[in-house]
Amino acid sequence: MPEMTTDAITLLTEDHKGVKKLFREFEGKSDRATKAKVDLYQTIKMELEVHTEIEEQFFYPASKEAVPDMIAESLEEHKQVDTLLAELQGMDPMDERFDAKMTVLIENVEHHAEEEEKEMFPEVKKALGMDTLRDLGSLMMEHKQRRMRELGQKAA
């Protein structure tokens, strides 16, 4: 099987698309679909945690010189998302606050992703160049695949 090389920005953008798809699925669930909502929350949580890891461990450090203010803001946004995910953990989906918190989570993540895609990524692309972004993408993909396997095994 040929090795697929994805640059860091493409990888992160694909992650954004994937989690947005999960959000739309969550929003389409009825109030009575509690099991489906909890399962979706767990999947969203895992996706966001691994995405945050690869951003914070690889992408942000490599991009810090190019966009220091944007990185600082993104790290703060990650903290807000982490807090919401922690508050949702173990919460009963019948609790009216569950959907309200999920809505806030969705809004925060979508705002964050849009800022990265429209403002941060073009600046980083200019500063780092495609060769560096491809190398970074390989490291990020390797880490992501390993973490997904680890988390998948825990959930099983």
SS (H, E, C) the chain: CCCCCCCHHHHHHHHHHHHHHHHHHHHCCCCCCHHHHHHHHHHHHHHHHHHHHHHHHHHHHHHCCCCHHHHHHHHHHHHHHHHHHHHHCCCCCCCHHHHHHHHHHHHHHHHHHHHHHHHHHHHHHHHHHHHHHHHHHHHHHHHHHHHHHHHHHHHC
Percent of the chain scoring above 90 in pLDDT: 88
Amino acid letter, 60 = Y
User: pLDDT value at position 152?
Assistant: 78
Residue 35 forms part of a structural domain: yes
Domain membership of residue 135 as a residue range: 8-155
pLDDT mean over 135-140 = 96
Closest among 91, 80, 95 to 42, alpha carbons compared:
91
The string of pLDDT tens digits covering residues 105-132 is: 999 999 999 999 999 999 999 999 999 9
User: pLDDT value at position 153?
Assistant: 58
* pTM of the complete model beyond 0.85: yes
Residue 1 forms part of a structural domain: no
The string of pLDDT tens digits covering residues 60-100 is: 999 999 999 999 999 999 999 999 999 999 999 999 899 99
Residue 123 forms part of a structural domain: yes
User: pLDDT value at position 1?
Assistant: 35
For residue 135, pLDDT over 70 is answered with: yes
Residue 102 forms part of a structural domain: yes
Phi-psi domain of 4 (left: phi exceeds 0; alpha: psi -120 through 50; beta: other): beta
pLDDT mean over 27-33 = 90
Residue 57 forms part of a structural domain: yes
Cβ atoms of 102 and 41 within 8 Å: the answer is yes
- Domain count for the chain, please give it: 1
Looking at every residue in the chain, the average pLDDT score rounds to: 92
For residue 16, pLDDT over 50 is answered with: yes
Residue 3 forms part of a structural domain: no
